[in-house]
Amino acid sequence: MFVEQITLPLADDLHVHLRQDHLMQTVVPLIDKGGAGRVLVMPNLKPHIKTTKQALNYQQALKALNPRVEYLMTLYLNPELTIEEIQKAATAKIIGIKSYPRGVTTNSEDGIENYEIYYALFAEMEKLGLILNLHGEVPSNAEKNICILNAEENFLQHLEKIHKNFPKLKIVLEHITTKAAVEKVEELGLTVSATITPHHLDLTVDDWAGQNHNYCKPVAKYPSDRAALRAVIKSGNPKFFLGSDSAPHLRSAKENSCACAGIFTTPLLLPYLADTFEKLNCLNKLKDFCCTFGREFYGLSALEQTITLKKISQKIPAEYNHIVPYRAEDELQWRIID
Amino acid sequence: MFVEQITLPLADDLHVHLRQDHLMQTVVPLIDKGGAGRVLVMPNLKPHIKTTKQALNYQQALKALNPRVEYLMTLYLNPELTIEEIQKAATAKIIGIKSYPRGVTTNSEDGIENYEIYYALFAEMEKLGLILNLHGEVPSNAEKNICILNAEENFLQHLEKIHKNFPKLKIVLEHITTKAAVEKVEELGLTVSATITPHHLDLTVDDWAGQNHNYCKPVAKYPSDRAALRAVIKSGNPKFFLGSDSAPHLRSAKENSCACAGIFTTPLLLPYLADTFEKLNCLNKLKDFCCTFGREFYGLSALEQTITLKKISQKIPAEYNHIVPYRAEDELQWRIID
């Protein structure tokens, strides 16, 4: 069947980086243009979002820039976080606590090293229904043969251990990139799910070698890993849903001798996905991946406003105010129409 | 024992890219400054060096730029190459025939896809004592799960097959990067050896992700692969010797959105190696790695001129006429003194 138009609710993008200052001002107005109506906002700002107060202030700033979008807020898991702060966060409808292993991505210098010190917090989160959002990579360690290629696979034991200890705690393993992660999330209980980015459905290691605009963390891996991500999307397993990990950086921070990690997909999020899902012959899975599975896992209401994607080609802009988008200047087969 | 000065013959760098035009003019005068007195020159120019005449013309140009260095020439293996041309090459003291799988590195668009079409040439090379220099990677193929990370390992079957069919043909597997390659070269007969670059003794995948000046082909791989390269160097196995694969590109070709592959080590070749060998506690292996094992495999006479390395620190320049060297602006612990 030839599909040339799709209408679906605004998407839930359950993992975005909206940044601060100049970047924030450029990115936030583009969220709904890309087709998302609700986003889970990452807390790795400078300084990190560590308190409810900081999160609410940040949420206010985002709303002021773009009131058409709903912002789900998170706190940065850190040793200063108290049970009282977790309770305050839950009351303020902060939805998740994000854990970054130390040093593995942008602004994660004081990420966590040992999860057991957080068990009292996890117990409280489990009780209050807060989500644990895991950046699932262990730090590189040459002596243990751990590098960016197997950092995710080596993290899965931590995921499993936390889940065993807190079986009712809802956990999202963020931006998964490996067959091993797909299999582990499939294997564990219904309280464990995973986000998948648009770019990890497209790329392998060959695509980011020397190509900084395709360089993100976790890095895209083997073709067999990409195949596992594609297969689980096509299977319609509700444990796997959209989190774009859209991560804007200025062109100057990408095209140099030491590039920042991150791929910017916010302004064309749904057209990217429609392109990819069509290539994978699973356009019929697009709505659940973008609008149903994540929302249901998080316990959110359905968004009422809809968008329509039409099969009309468009050229991806070279940049948005000095931020180079994913697949810049390439052709997309789908666009959002009013 | 604290070593603070080493005198050794000028090195044999048995794999270098000397380029053309502007790059050639910058690079060639630096060869002996870096401590090499004899180099094996790669034929992947534009156009490729496919005939004896082209190779001798190129050799003349190199000699004119720097007569202090001896240039060992190679031809680019290609379907137009005849037995007569192989004979002519041998008479002209061209020393090797270089094979590039299609599309895996700089200027390899018409590299080889099937080795059996070259068996008549290999038989003639075996008879005449010409070396077969193999770029040991197969092209990426997502359906077969082949990407730049396992392209070398997947090539080893071809190496083994050629060696079994031509046991007296001397073969060098160039710039090896994996434990699998080390083990295969160890396992095969004495006519099979391998070159190792300075940078593959230092780097892993973590070092080139987003860092284009550390990006080369084959890419640096897992810590366990680097450990295997280091171990075989320390073992003093004569099948493994220096081929720098020094591959200059202009800064503008590296610091952009799609970087050229290659690391430039020519101007400080021996200081880089002294640094690394000292860190690995095997400075006593430096001379054989740089001046003995390769020369003996190739059947070359010893170079008489010596150089002295002294433990005096120096800062690596930011660039040489717009070419950024390996570890630019970093500190080296060794330098060559007159």
Residues of B in contact with A219 (CB under 8 A): 209
The first and second tokens of residue A138, run together, are: 């262990």
What CA–CA distance (Å, rounded) separates B59 from B41?
9
What CA–CA distance (Å, rounded) separates A97 from A131?
6
Q: Hey, is B183 helix, strand or coil?
A: helix
At residue A137, the pLDDT reads 95
What are the CA-CA distances from residue A330 to residues A280, A316, A324, A333 (Å)?
A: 19, 6, 12, 10
At residue A172, the pLDDT reads 98
Q: Hey, is A70 helix, strand or coil?
A: strand
Say what the ipTM of the complex is: 0.95
Give per-residue burial for A195-228: e unless 16+ CB within 10 Å, then b.
bbbbbbbbbbbbbbbbbbbbbbbbbbbbbbbbbb
What CA–CA distance (Å, rounded) separates B274 from A149?
30
At residue B1, the pLDDT reads 63
Mean pLDDT of chain B: 96
At residue B106, the pLDDT reads 67
List pLDDT tens digits, range B130-186.
999 999 999 999 999 999 999 999 999 999 999 999 999 999 999 999 999 999 999
Distance from CA of B230 to the nearest CA of A (A): 13
Q: Which of residues 217-236 of B touch A (CB under 8 A)?
A: 219, 222-224, 226-227
Sorted by sequence, the CB contacts under 8 Å of residue A167 that are 6+ apart come out as: A189, A191
Closest listed residue to residue B152, CA positions, set B133, B186, B178: B178
At residue A103, the pLDDT reads 65
Binary contact (A147, B206; C-beta < 8 A)? yes
At residue A102, the pLDDT reads 77
**A234 with A280: CB under 8 angstroms?**
yes
Distance from CA of B297 to the nearest CA of A (A): 33
Weakly modelled stretches of chain A, pLDDT under 70:
1, 103-113
Q: Hey, is A282 helix, strand or coil?
A: coil
**A89 with A125: CB under 8 angstroms?**
no
Q: How many residues does chain B have?
A: 338
By Cβ distance, the residue of B143, B150, B205 closest to A148 is B205
List pLDDT tens digits, range A151-170.
999 999 999 999 999 999 99
List pLDDT tens digits, range B40-52.
999 999 999 999 9
- Distance, C-alpha B96 to centroid of its chain: 13
What CA–CA distance (Å, rounded) separates A163 from A23?
36
Tell me if chain B has a CB within 8 Å of the CB of A252: no
pTM more than 0.90: yes
Binary contact (A206, B140; C-beta < 8 A)? yes
**B312 with B185: CB under 8 angstroms?**
no
Tell me if chain B has a CB within 8 Å of the CB of A203: no
At residue B103, the pLDDT reads 65
For the segment(s) B5-337, the CATH number from 3.40.50.720, 3.20.20.140, 3.40.50.1000, 1.10.10.10 is 3.20.20.140
Q: Verify cis geometry, omega within 30 degrees of 0, for the bond prior to A47.
A: yes
List pLDDT tens digits, range A243-258.
999 999 999 999 999 9
Tell me if chain B has a CB within 8 Å of the CB of A67: no
What CA–CA distance (Å, rounded) separates B139 from B43?
20
In terms of DSSP bridges, do strands B314-315 and B192-196 run parallel, antiparallel, or are they unpaired?
A: unpaired
CA atoms within 13 A on the CB side of A46: 7
Tell me if chain A has a CB within 8 Å of the CB of B321: no
Phi/psi zone of residue A212: left (φ > 0), alpha (ψ -120 to 50 degrees), beta?
alpha
| Residue entry with tokens 């690394």 | B276
List pLDDT tens digits, range B219-231.
999 999 999 999 9
The residue-averaged pLDDT of B21-28 equals 97
Domain ranges of chain B: 5-337
At residue B109, the pLDDT reads 57
Closest listed residue to residue B175, CA positions, set B276, B107, B229, B245: B245
Residue B276 pLDDT level (bands cut at 50, 70, 90): very high
By Cβ distance, the residue of A142, A212, A324 closest to B210 is A212
Sorted by sequence, the CB contacts under 8 Å of residue A139 that are 6+ apart come out as: A101, A102, A103, A104, A146, A151
At residue A114, the pLDDT reads 76
Q: Known catalytic residue: B322? A: no
At residue B338, the pLDDT reads 76
At residue A3, the pLDDT reads 84
List pLDDT tens digits, range A30-57.
999 999 999 999 999 999 999 999 999 9
Distance from CA of A331 to the nearest CA of B (A): 18
Binary contact (B208, A206; C-beta < 8 A)? no
At residue B102, the pLDDT reads 77
Residues of A in contact with B209 (CB under 8 A): 148, 208, 215, 219, 261
**B146 with B190: CB under 8 angstroms?**
no
In terms of DSSP bridges, do strands A36-41 and B5-9 run parallel, antiparallel, or are they unpaired?
A: unpaired
